[in-house]
Amino acid sequence: MVEDVSKRPVSPGAEELLGLYFPVLDHGFVALVDYMGTDECIERAARVSYGYGTRKASQTRGLLRYLRRHLHTTPSEMLELKFHCCMPMFIARQWIRHRAASVNEYSGRYSLMPMLFYTPDAAQLQTQSRANNQGRSGKPVTDATYAEAVQRWNGIRDASRSAYEWMTGEDVARELARIDLPLSTYTQWYWKTDLHNFLHFLKLRVDAHAQWEIQEYGRVMAGMLKRVAPLSYEAFIDYDVCGARLSRMELEAIRRLVSIEGDGLRANAGAAVDQAGLEALGLAKREARELFDKLGAAKTPDFELDLGKARTPEAFAAHFAAAVPKVDKPPQE
């Protein structure tokens, strides 16, 4: 009997994930369906003349951290990941802004749309932020407002569902029957990207300023990366998620507070930079607030996945099949 041993680089953590579907929001999911490459593949791409010889993990880690720290991103393009994702359409419209990926989306022209809609829970239905025109304030609306919002959403969805089911039942073309389905309707796609572009996606989408719903997808996918390429994930957390870029003016403000002394740093006695001093350096008030945020204590996130929460693809397939309108095919002419 021939032993079935893959000749391609294999990530044990990634192999554990294949075939597992992780729920996101009320009807969504993310699954890693395939991958190509490992941390070691990134190292070999960077050291083009280096083959498959024995290598210490510390040397691989050191090189990957150097590459990430100095923005040498080409070697990370050698690792690719393919996901199967299901999300509300309004999240898909944000997601598709990340153009450096191969995408194939569920077709509402070809297939009937499952009548599944996203409903935020009470904690997430919040008032409009006064500081961020794109986001919510962090303050939930009243119970009465939430109940009224859900009632109105359900009314819109019931009307859309009824119209869609009636039109498809009357053999109206699906590409037109779908046009008034709300943005809360779930869609799904296969999404394939390389690690370089995936890290850019994650940096923006696990950030606290991103919309909470897409953060939920980002957190699950970051947990998958932690298993696929743990050394790349570690460097990403240290230099991107918990690191920060500093402008010329920000660096000058810090230089006024500390000096280089031999192999260390020395606090400049009595030094201080107040708001007027920051403005004199060219920092606007908003830039000054952003500098304070960068220097504030930050908690290192841990995107560890709970494999016990995963479901089978068959479970999600059955859930979606049950939500597809039942349409009797008209008699053939």
Catalytic residues: 205
The counts of H helices and E strands in the chain are: 13, 9
Nearest to 111 by CA among 294, 324, 282: 324
DSSP 8-state class, residue 117: B
Q: From residue 328, give the alpha-carbon distance in Å to each of 106, 116, 166, 172.
A: 22, 20, 11, 13
Which residues are registered as beta bridge partners of 30?
22, 85
Radius of gyration of the chain (CA): 25
- For residues 87 and 186, is the Cβ–Cβ distance under 8 A? yes
- CA 180, 186, 189, 192 dihedral sign is positive
Query: What SS3 class is residue 194?
Result: strand
DSSP 8-state class, residue 237: I
> 227-239 burial string, b = 16+ CB within 10 Å, else e?
bbbebbbbbbbeb
C-alpha–C-alpha distance, residues 217 and 201, integer Å: 11
C-alpha–C-alpha distance, residues 185 and 93, integer Å: 12
List all residues 6 or more positions away from 297 whose beta carbon is below 8 Å from its beta carbon.
none
